Every structure is written in C-alpha cells, then in structure tokens.
Amino acid sequence: MHDERRRIEERVERLHTQRIKPAIYAATVPFEVEAWQAPGEPVSFEEATAARYEPFAMGTPWGPPWGTTWFRMRGEVPAAFAGRRVEAVIDLGFVGDWPGNQAEALVHLPDGRPLKAVNPLNQYVPIANPATGGEQIDYLVEAASNPDILANNFSAPTLLGDVLTAGDKPLYTFLRADIAVLDEEVWHLDLDIQVLLGVMTHLGDHEPRRHEILHALDRAMDTLDLDDVSGSAAAVREVLAPVLAKPAHASAHVVSGVGHAHIDSAWLWPIRETKRKTSRTFSNVTSLADEYDDFIFACSQAQQYEWVRDHYPHVWARIQESVKKGQWAPVGGMWVESDGNLPGGEAIARQLIHGKRFFIEHFGIETKGVWLPDSFGYNAAYPQLAKLAGNEWFLTQKISWNQTNKFPHHTFWWEGIDGTRIFTHFPPVDTYNARFSGEEMDRAVRNYAEKGAGTRSLAPFGWGDGGGGPTREIMERARRLADLEGSPKVVVEHPDEFFAKARAEYEDAPVWNGELYLELHRATYTSQARTKQGNRRSEHKLREAELWATTAALHAPDYTYPYDKLDRLWKTVLLHQFHDILPGSSIAWVHREAEAEYARVAAELEELTAEAVAALGGGAPRVFNTSPYDRAEVVRTAEGALAYVAVPANGSAALAPSAPDRGVTVEGRVLDNGLVRVEVAEDGTLASVFDLRAQREVLADQGNLLRLHTDLPNYWDAWDIDKHYRNRYVDLLEASAVEVVEQDPLRAAIRVQRSFGKGSTLTQTITLRAGSPRIDFETEIDWHEAEKILKAGFPVDIRAPHSSAEIQFGHIQRPTHTNTSWEAARFEVSGHRWVHVGEPGYGVAVINDSTYGHDVTRTVREDGGTTTKVSLSLVRAPRIPDPEADQGMHRFTYSLLPGASIEDAVAEGYALNLPLRVADSAGEPEPVVSADGEGLTVEAVKLADDGSGDVVVRLYESRGGRAQGVLRTGFPLAGAEITDLLERPLEAAHLTDGAVPVALRPFQILTLRLRRG
C-alpha cells in the first residue's frame, strides 16, 4: 500500500478546522446589548441592576485593568429556531485559551440568580432544548476585565499587577453576543474527530490501529458534503462509528478521571477576584452536573466554599444539591491548599482542623484525603499530620516539575519523620488540568512507573489555576475514551474510589521516606520577605494569645475566652498561607494586601493577649514566657532598665532581677560574657567566635559575611533560584561605621553600618547578653536592588556529615555532600526557626525569626580541617510578577548559637521567636501545663473548640529520639483523653498523681484533652 498518511492527515486537519468547527452553530441572531462601567471595586447585583445603561455595539473596546463592566443583554428566540437546541454565545474578546487570567463573566437572570459563567473555552449559556420560539431572554452579565499578567511568558516586568499602577486603558474588544442554534450532530462529529485524531497521532507508525483510524477518517471526509456540513454530519459519524466502537485491550491502563478546577486563592489576581472566580467556576460546574449524570467534581479549599456561602447563596444551594446527588466531592480537608514547606506545624494542623470541620458541618462529609496538587514541595511531617486528622490518602502533582531528577514512583507509601505512612498518588498525566487529549492519555501510560504491579492512575480534569473547571467537551471526550482501542480506559469516579482500588491492587507499594523536595521554585523560601515575616509573627502571636487566654480563663472568673476572634484570626492567617501568597509568587496587589492584613492581625492579637494578661489583675510587673522551655534571660523593664530573670515554660515570674554568673565585658571590638568571646573585625564581619566552655574556635573564616549574588533564574523569577547564582557575587566588606552602641554588664552591642549596590543600606546590631552564648544580629535593610539575593554566611570549623533543619513538629537531616544528583539538586532548602550542623561532641546552630531559605556547603581546608558553611537567604529582588518585590525596609534578627545541641537549637528557636513579655499582674498563676521529660515539647495550649472548657494541649518529641515524662497541669485535673487533631477522643489517658504520663516515639505528635476538676 502506498503511504498517504501526510495527505490524509492534512486533509482531515483542514476540513475539521475550516469546515466542521465553524458549522457547530447553525444560525445566530445578535442580542441587544447595553453596558455600564462600575466605578472602582466590584458592586452588588442590586447596585448593578439600578445603574443606568448605555447602548453598546460589538467591536467596541471595554474593560480597564481590574475593572468591572455590567452588560445587559436582551433578545428573543426566533420562531425558526423552534425544536432546536438554543444557546447564548458570548465572546468578550478573549485572548488565548486560558480561562483564568483574562476577561471572565458571570451571567445572571433578572432576579439575581447566577446562571453560568463564560470564558474562552466555555462561551455558551443554555437557553432552551428544545426551543419553542419566542422565548424572551434578559441577562445581566458581570464582566471582569482582569489583565493578562502572563503575557509574553513572564518575559518582562509589568505594572498591571496592581490596581494602583495598572492604568485605565481598555484591555478587550467585545466580539460576540448571539442567540445561536447548536447543531448537535456537527458538535458530536467535531468531538469524534478530536478523539480519533488524539488516539491516532500518539500511536506508533507500526501500530495497525493507527492506520485503521487514518483510513476511516479519510473515508469520513469523502462522505462530508462541503456545501451541507450539517446535513451530512450524521452520515460522516456513521463512517466513524466502527472505529469508535472497538474496545480497549484487556490490559489497558485505567485512568480515573476526577473533575477539577484548580482555583488559586490569589496569584495573578487579588483575593477579591478569587471570590468572584469561585462563583463563576462553581456555577459552571453545577450547570455541567445537570447535563451529565456521570459527572463527578472534586473540590478542595474550605475557604472558597465559605466565600460562596457568604456571597453567592444561590450557587451555594446548587453546590449542596450536587453534594447530595454524589456529583460534588469535597476533598483535601484543608482551609486552603497551603504551601507545603513554610507554614508552622500548628498552622498545618489548623489547616486540616478547620478544613475538615467545615465539610463535616456543612455537608456531613468527612474527607479522606489531602489534596495538594500544586504546592512547591511537601514537608516530612505531613504523613503524621494527615493521619492524625483522619485522612487515608495524599495526592500531589507538582513533583512532576522536578528540574533534575525524575521522581521514581506514582503510587507509593509516603513515610514521615516519625514513621507514619500514608498511601500517596502522584498522577502520571503530569497535570491537574487534564483535558483527555491524546497527548495526555499517551503520557499517562508512558509515565506510569508502577507497570506490572498497578494498573490505574488518577487524572484531575478541567481548566484551572484561575478556575474554569471541566467543560462538556471534556466530558464528551471522557465518554468516548471509556473503552476505546488504542487508549487507556477512562472512568469518571470519586477520588476515594480511585484510592481504594489503587490500594487494594498495590498494598505493597514502594516507600518514599522523608520530604517530597521539589527541585524547582526554591526561591519561594525567600521571595517577599515581609509576607513571610508576617506569617511567622502571626503564628507565634496566635500561640501567645491562646496560651494566655487559656490561663486567664482558668484563673480569672470574669474572663471570657475569645473563641470567635481567635477562630477568625486563625482563618485569616491560614488563608494567607495559600501556595502563591506565602511563597511570594503573587502580583504586587496580593502582597500589599497581605502585609496590611498581617499588621491588622498582629494588632488584634496583641490586644487579645494584653486583655488576657490584664484579666489576671493589676499589680507588680511580671515576666511572661510563651515558650515551652524554661528561660533565664535579660529583659528590659517598662522604665527602660535591664534585668536578668528566670521564667518557667508556659508561665510567668515576678520581675525580681537576679544576677548571672558573669556579666558582659567590652574591650575594643571584643564582647565577652564568660561563655563566648566575640571579636568583630574592622570590616564588620566576625573575626572570631571563641567558645570558652569548649575552648575551641567556632569559625573557620569570616563569620556573618554578607554576600550579594546576581540572581536571575532561567524562568519564573519570583519562584526560582538557579544554581548559577553562586557564580557571580560581591562580598560586603566595606563598613561606614563599626562602633560599640551598648555597654552594660547585662548586654553589650556593636553596630555595623553599610551602603551597597543601587542605594541600599544595611545596619546590624551585634548583641551579646549575660548568661547566654547566643549572638544576635538585629538587622535593618533598606533594600533597593534588582535581580539580586543577599545571603549571610557562617563558615564553622565542623565536619558535619549532614545538616539538621527544623520543620513542622521536628527536624530533617540533609547530607552536606553532593554524591548524587539528588543531593546536588538540594542546593537551596527550607527550614523554620533553626539550622544545626554538628560533629560528635560539638554543634552550632543558626537561628532566625523570619527567614526560611538557606544552603549548607562544606569544603576541606589545606590543613585537613573541614569548613561547613551555613548561609541564610535574607532578601531577594525578583521583578516578575511584582516589579517592586521586596523593595524598601526590612527588619529581622538571626543568631549564631555556638556549642549547641539539637535541644538547644529547639529552645533558642522558640526563645528568639517568642520574646518575653513584661506586664503588670497581681496574679501568680501556675503554668497551665508543664512537660517534665527531655524532648517533650508543648506546641499549643488552648481551650477545646467545642466550648466545653476542657483544655487541649498538643505536644511532640522534638529531639528525634524516644521521650518519656509527665505532663503536669496548673489546675485540678479530673481526666484526660488522647484525641485526634479535631479533638475527638481516640483513647483514655491514664493519670498518675494528678498528672499524665507521656511516652513518645521520635517526632510523635500527641494531642491531649484535659478535663478540669
């Protein structure tokens, strides 16, 4: 046979594109359109209804950046359309084919009910099927003119990312608003051809099936009447029917399709726009559910449900109905799809608590899995936290973006730092926005790493990132691919069903231990430093407010625990942990608002804490310690004097100054407190840090060396830091001033001032206190760089085989060598309050109060010694998507802790992030709880969420070893229960002498519910 593939393929392509697709809508009449430009921010439907509209013609520009234009569309279905399927077709002037980052609209009926949304891939609104003719149509369409921030593939900075800088030039030209007849036979023919072409083009040339489809398509095109596409469509479909009817092979891979619409809670749009995106997408989804009984949609993020409930009650009612019918599946059980690395342990616990409770309360459904397709890596505490919240499975997708190494599994058991395992799936289709294209189905089968053991994978389908969701075309492709030779079998089903089947056939799946590190987007540990600092401060202020509110509730009869306020503030913080807000990868508008929200949260939490402390009664000054560790520290009194005070963990003590064994002396640029001796060089770096206890020099080279690197990644500026950043840098070795600014037996400090780059300035106050080996670097930077990253390096004289970095409820060890490509890819990693490096008998910790990114490298010196260098990433200067990212003032502190064990690092990490509070108080309450036993660390103290008055305590083992001890209470204890994260009882806890004995495995998390006597 002669090879005529090229001729046939080109023929099919032209006829499909130029004749069949244009014939999908058989006849049209235009709407009569009027418009009203809403001033400023979006307005209510009621306000829009009352506005004055002006005539509007197709082809007219509309829509300033971030504006809202309301269109009134009126029309009548012609009598000639009777008996046909009639729809409204609206094209706002869409650009490209991504629904989420451009013009979008929500169509309302005159009574205010949202009907359906329109976007570039979903331009229709049902009118009647069949129409009778004469139907009167009156729509009010809320159109958002959001700018295309992704234009030109992020190749240049844009001012469109903030309403304050975007200007007012119209962005779009309205192209079409018609009443149209959908020719269903032509529409189905279009889909038949789409599916067959997709299957055919991804089969090998040697496959008979490829040639069978090719020649069937050729015969079908012979049947097509170019002068009467509509009239011949049925006959063309009959020619194609036999090749569409051939069943898949018995061994065909099974793809479980789950409807999905990834809606970033903020990213290239502000939070206010996400609220509208949810209404548009969810209107489309519920409309699609009405059309397709076999449709199932999985939706996460309780926050987005709450927005719809509060702002779009009609859409909310439709969601509730879809849930009852089993077509809508709440999943994920988190308040938002948060970042997977940066939120603290208690914050991730609250994500799961608030998310799962929302779905239980509003739908009577307890979600079974964690749904996190798009976060930028996943911490190794997740398996335990997920299981403690009652979850059975975990889903992620983003690991497919790895820059260097291909992740070896798609279905596996993920083991966390404590040993907990959770059944995990990583869809081989490599997208959470699947469309059931031939390319995607081929990729899913080729990628699938479990061949021979497993037979199925999951594919979330529907347009996403900015919403949009599944379309009827995607559902039609799924139906055709249900059992089709040459393709995997597609079944649309609930994700719980997929996970049950996948686990049943592959119970002995391989195990992946430790973090799921994403080999990309490493700069998200550093970008938008003020957003990250706001999160860190908020997490610790929430801990503080809850502890002292609980203390006051136990000891002050007239005090009322602020349940509602704390709940609201937690939800605000959880929202801003979304995986494009906290990582610093959103537009300027998002981060401007985030900083303002964090300031409001801090002020309100400060007020709540002050009220709780005041409720204990006025009197003499006391010092309050929110840390779970006893502390003896220098504090400043209200009068400005310094005092050295010992304060118990989670408790308070009278401000009765005591004296440490030795004070701080200053000689030139040398600070000495009897524990460490610190010498500051003329250039402001550390010339020496000598540990007087161990009689050894800590540094192998200049300490606190500030290094300014050129930082232009290959792509994704705010997200990525590529390895080549290391190749070009300037060390900041010129100081305009190095001077002693504080000299007191309890505290001494040297200030270093620098100017550098494009007008940036940096002031550091190097502080040493009596009684502590910790050296603090209080830092203030006025930052005006572009495409740079500033790091602070500490080269220590330690041969460390690995570094340890704090993560949620524990820490993770990472090798300091680069033996394999996996270790080499971890050239920038995340950690929370501390990083520790050590050799047998000696260690050093670097502690911080607001940064997350760091790197640890090691070299061998000529003398044979090893230098292990810990470098903190302090601030970046990406220009995309926010051209002014990180510009301006930054204030933070980091510290060097010589001679530190892991336990020392844990304690000082808490201490730096939870400063002692001095306030007047007449009460001398016992700490609510105290944990006696090495490694037992209390993470949260609060009253139970059910209002019972029970005290809930969450603690964990923090050293990485077994821990035994007792939890004692500062109140009469009548009983105790071990609970899950949602404070539901798991088993009774035994009491011994009025306390709770505790035995924990390494990094185990334990939640106790304590009943007051």
Q: What is the mean pLDDT for each group of 10 consecutive residues in the chain (1013 residues)? A: 89 98 97 97 97 98 98 98 98 93 97 97 97 98 95 87 97 98 98 98 96 98 98 98 98 98 98 98 98 98 98 98 98 98 98 98 98 98 98 97 97 98 98 98 98 98 97 98 98 98 97 98 98 98 98 96 98 98 98 98 98 91 97 90 95 88 96 98 98 98 98 97 98 97 97 98 98 98 98 98 98 98 98 98 98 97 97 98 98 98 98 96 89 97 98 98 97 97 97 96 98 94
List CB contacts of 382: < 8 A, sequence separation 6 or more: 340, 348, 370, 394, 414, 416, 422, 808
Contact in structure between 284 and 117 (CB atoms under 8 Å) = yes
Q: How far apart are CA 91 and CA 175, in angstroms?
A: 5
Tokens 């490493």 found at:
522
Cβ atoms of residues 341 and 580 within 8 Å: no
* Cα distance between residue 319 and residue 375, in whole Å: 26
Quick one: residue 220, left, alpha or beta (phi over 0 = left, psi -120 to 50 = alpha)?
A: alpha
Task: Name residue 848's beta-bridge partners.
Answer: 894
Check: CB of residue 813 under 8 Å from CB of residue 517.
no
pLDDT for res 638: 81
End-to-end CA distance of the chain: 91
Question: Which amino acid would we find at residue 44?
Answer: S
147 prior amide bond cis, ω within 30: no
- Which residues 6+ apart lie within 8 Å of 153 measured at CB? none
* E strand map for 263-334: 297-299, 328-330
What integer pLDDT is reported at residue 448 of this predicted model? 98
Q: Rounded CA gap, 226 and 233, in Å?
A: 10
Residue from 975, 967, 900, 976 nearest 937 by CA = 967
Q: Tell me the C-alpha distance between 280 and 294, whole Å.
A: 22
304 closest CA partner among 354, 368, 344, 343:
354
| Identity of the amino acid at 755 | S
Compute the C-alpha angle 931/937/939, nearest 5°. 110
Q: Other C-beta atoms within 10 Å of 764: how many?
A: 26
> pLDDT at position 151, please?
80
Task: Give the count of alpha carbons within 13 A of 563, CB side only.
Answer: 8
Phi, psi of 957 (to 5 degrees): -90, 125
Contacting residues for 451 by C-beta, under 8 A, at least 6 apart = none
Q: Give the CB-side neighbour count of residue 274, counting CA atoms within 13 A.
A: 28
Query: Burial level of 500, CB count in 10 A (0-12/13-18/19+)?
Result: middle
The pLDDT score that the predictor gives to residue 198 is: 98
985-989, strands of its sheet edge to edge:
936-943, 951-957, 1005-1012, 973-979, 985-989
For residue 567, indicate whether it is catalytic. Answer: no
| Residue for token pair 């809930």 | 952
281 DSSP assignment: H
Record the tokens describing residue 571, joined without a space: 């939800």
The residues near 268 (Cβ < 8 Å, ≥ 6 apart) are 101, 149, 150, 161, 466, 586, 587, 881
Bond preceding residue 881 cis, omega within 30 of 0: yes
Q: What is the pLDDT of residue 153?
A: 79
Q: What's the maximum distance between 2 C-alpha atoms anywhere in the chain?
A: 101
Distance in angstroms (rounded) separating the CA atoms of residues 905 and 416: 21
pTM of the model: 0.98
CA dist 525 → 551, 724, 872, 911, 913 (Å): 35, 18, 11, 22, 18
Tokens 């490509």 correspond to 821
Out of 374, 442, 580, 797, the active site residue is 374
- pLDDT at position 97 is 87
Considering only CA atoms, which of 927, 990, 986, 553 is closest in space to residue 1007? 986
Inter-residue long-range contacts of 673-681, CB under 8 Å, 24+ positions, other chains counted? 673/768, 673/769, 673/770, 673/771, 673/772, 673/773, 675/771, 675/772, 675/773, 676/768, 676/773, 676/775, 676/898, 676/899, 678/766, 678/768, 678/775, 680/738, 680/750, 680/752, 680/766
Residues 6+ apart with CB under 8 A from 594: 528, 531, 534, 576, 581
Q: How far is CA 666 from CA 51, 635, 641, 695, 698, in A?
A: 73, 20, 19, 20, 20
C-alpha–C-alpha distance, residues 119 and 109, integer Å: 18
Residues linked to residue 987 through DSSP beta bridges, in sequence order: 978
Separation of alpha carbons 482 and 852, rounded Å = 46
Can you give the pLDDT at residue 150? 85
Can you point out the beta strands (E) in 289-386? 297-299, 328-330, 369-371
The answer to whether residues 791 and 766 touch, using CB atoms and an 8 Å cutoff, is no
Burial call 25-38: b when 16+ CB within 10 Å, e when fewer: bbebeebebbbbeb
Beta partners for residue 91, in sequence order? 176
